[in-house]
Amino acid sequence: MDRYLSGHEVDLVILDLMLPGEDGLSIGRRLRQQKNMPIIILSARGEELDRIVGLEMGADDYLTKPFNPRELLARIRSVLRRCNEVKQPTASEEHILTFGPFTLDLQKHELSRDGQEITLTSGEFTLLRIFLEHSNRVLTRDSLLEMTKGYEHSPLDRSIDVCVGRLRRKIEPDPTQPVYLRTVWGSGYIFSRQGKA
Amino acid sequence: MDRYLSGHEVDLVILDLMLPGEDGLSIGRRLRQQKNMPIIILSARGEELDRIVGLEMGADDYLTKPFNPRELLARIRSVLRRCNEVKQPTASEEHILTFGPFTLDLQKHELSRDGQEITLTSGEFTLLRIFLEHSNRVLTRDSLLEMTKGYEHSPLDRSIDVCVGRLRRKIEPDPTQPVYLRTVWGSGYIFSRQGKA
DNA sequence: ACAAGATGTAACCAATTTGTAACAGAATTA
DNA sequence: TAATTCTGTTACAAATTGGTTACATCTTGT
């Protein structure tokens, strides 16, 4: 069992105390201590003492057989909800930015859409971050160069244009008709999180 | 009741569905939605349907009268424990960290896989510990040097790269294609416990 | 409609960054 | 002290990036 657990992603363990082998309670205690894994205990014995021991051991919930499957589902949902809040205490904080269906994680340097990762080079990442942090306002090539590299302006520098193009290919539904990263002719670029037509 | 709640610090609400006044279930629903408050429901009716409705509504636990006071205490403890972890996720002193099939024991300074020990030098151990303690975020060479040795930065210091390489040979299935200890080009390294492709 | 300037973009490749083997001084152990 | 292990440095190979260039396309003003 330990081997299985170490090789797989497990969200929650439902422990049947009536199963043979290592004592269910000690398994549970170990799982909780080492991996902080959510646990629901099933038991045929409905005696109160057992239930109390199970909960004190650290299980998150306790159900006695026979049980209603719908109740088990409800309890699983309840435990997982609590648990996800534990895993991502700071998910809602500053280091995750979103636009349209995309998510940019500033800590991981990772862009994803529908849970699927989209690889960005470090230049693309930097540019996207700047656009997200200054959305809905026109950014000139000068200020973009300034923010990305601290450059002074060179009048024939096209590097921003090229990088914008590369970014568009990764985030725009149709790079020809940008909805997030639009050109403001004669001035620069503007980014809008919701994606204008 | 609302007046009381807004003026006081409340850790947990025990809701008696049999009390008069506003319907207990809707009170509960409101508390959870507005304050994300932990809730335990008491009810004289032991019918399954009620218990299910209560849990689905978002209560953290459910107890039917008559109940054993000790069991109520245990359940309160269980619910509060979960909640406090939300507030202080790193409060407990875990000295065993896991990732993929590996286990790192901080006390013994020992890395093992499937019960088999993998010897680490002290430099490798330190680096791995730091990666595990700061997983899922990019760590620059600078900050890694800082954390491992308190170094000031020397721009041509490659010691981190070399140590990362050595660590990879011990933990990566294929050091050429790291899944745990990945490079973030132009920025540094990032460690993910579950091992990304 | 035309010219002039601005923008999009494919392709090339130099500069940078990273991987790693080999070496040697440092640290540890016997 | 001698032997052994560890770890930083160096050097070079490999990989990756992103700026430059060149040209097509688009916008604006006349």
The tens digit of pLDDT for each residue in B95-135 reads: 788 898 999 998 889 999 988 899 999 999 999 999 999 99
Instruction: Give the nucleotide nearest to A166 (CA→C1').
Output: C9
A43: β partners: A64
Mean pLDDT is lowest, of A66-75, A119-128, B53-62, B80-89, for B80-89
Count Cα atoms within 13 angstroms, Cβ side, for B12.
19
* Tokens linked to A118: 């989209």
Query: What pLDDT was estimated at residue A124?
Result: 97
Higher-confidence residue of B43 and A114: namely: A114
Distance CA A132, CA A181 (A): 10
Opening angle at CA A83, ends A78 and A87, nearest 5: 155
CB B51 within 8 A of CB B64: yes
Give the residue with minimal CA–C1' separation from D25: A176
Mean pLDDT is lowest, of A90-94, A183-187, B15-19, B128-132, for A90-94
Distance from CA of A196 to the nearest CA of B (A): 32
Q: Which nucleotides of C are covered by protein (CB under 7 A)?
A: 6-11, 17-22
Query: What pLDDT was estimated at residue B90?
Result: 37
Of A166, A192, A188, residue with least CA distance to A179: A192
Based on DSSP, count helices (H) and strands (E) in chain B, helices before strands: 7, 10
What lies within 8 Å, CB to CB, of B24 at 6+ separation is: B15, B16, B17, B18, B41
Higher-confidence residue of A196 and B28: namely: A196
* Tokens linked to B79: 């619910």
Q: Do residue B77 and residue A55 have CB atoms under 8 angstroms apart? A: yes
B51: β partners: none
Q: What's the CA–C1' distance between B169 and C21, in Å?
A: 14
Tens-digit pLDDT profile for residues B59-94? 677 766 666 677 777 777 777 766 655 444 333 445
Q: Which nucleotides of D are covered by protein (CB under 7 A)?
A: 5-11, 16-22, 27-28
B41: β partners: B15, B62
Whether this prediction's pTM lies above 0.75 is answered by no
- Among chain A, residues having any CB pair with chain B shorter than 8 Å are 3, 6-7, 9, 34-36, 48, 51-52, 55-56, 58-61, 68, 70-71, 74-75, 77-78, 81-83, 85-86, 89, 107-109, 121-123
Distance CA A71, CA A42 (A): 12
